[in-house]
Amino acid sequence: MAASMDLPIIETALQGWRDAAAAREKMPTLFWIAIAIMIALAILHVLLGGLSFFSFIVSVIFGLAQALALTPLAIAVHRFVLLDEARDAYDFAPGDPRFQKFFLFTIGLDSWRVFLVLLCTVLPVVVIQVVLGALVVALFFGNWLLSSLVLALIIPVITVFTVAAMAASASRLFAAYADRLGRPSNLYPRPAV
């Protein structure tokens, strides 16, 4: 069954989360490695974040490092959704053209439909992170380091699953717009669950 050109925005975002959950079931090692790397980066960011003069530069560098670290996860989820391929390995290959395309995708967007699908995929997580952040800060009020470290352990886990859901949603969009993009039209994503 070919994918529709007019994918419903909210349903595609929800399907992205279902696909991410299915990918996590098939590739647990990949997800655990991505979570461990993200936690390590978050803790390092907290420890270096105290440098107020360099805090903006440090944040930009860590944002790029996170995108780079999550690219293998995004590629694996993309291949899982489009090809039903479950490769439970963390393949960090920055020289690979596919890796470079996904890295650039994690930094920027195009069309409005793509933007809205990805926004609907990530918006609930943003709300959860804000509420969770407020709760942790309130719980550890006055202890900036402890609240930052607790968030550095929790937020990366949420981020890994969010990136997987965004990659799955993007894969469904890729299949729907394959003809317009000049890609093979015989791409059939995994059946929606």
91: Cβ contacts below 8 Å, ≥ 6 apart: 72, 75, 76
Report the pLDDT averaged over residues 136-156: 88
* Number of DSSP helices (H) and strands (E) in the chain, helices first: 7, 0
Residue 128 has pLDDT above 60, yes or no: yes
For the entire predicted model, the pTM comes to 0.74
pLDDT digits (tens, 9 = 90+) for 33-87: 999 999 999 888 888 765 556 677 777 788 888 888 888 998 899 889 888 888 8
pLDDT band at 144 (very low <50, low <70, confident <90, very high): confident
**pLDDT over 60 (residue 186):** no
The C-alpha atoms of residue 93 and residue 124 are separated, in whole angstroms, by 31
- In a 13 Å sphere around the CA of 93, the CA atoms on its Cβ side amount to 11
Count of other CB atoms within 10 angstroms of residue 125: 18
- Nearest 5°: the CA angle 83, 104, 71 is 55
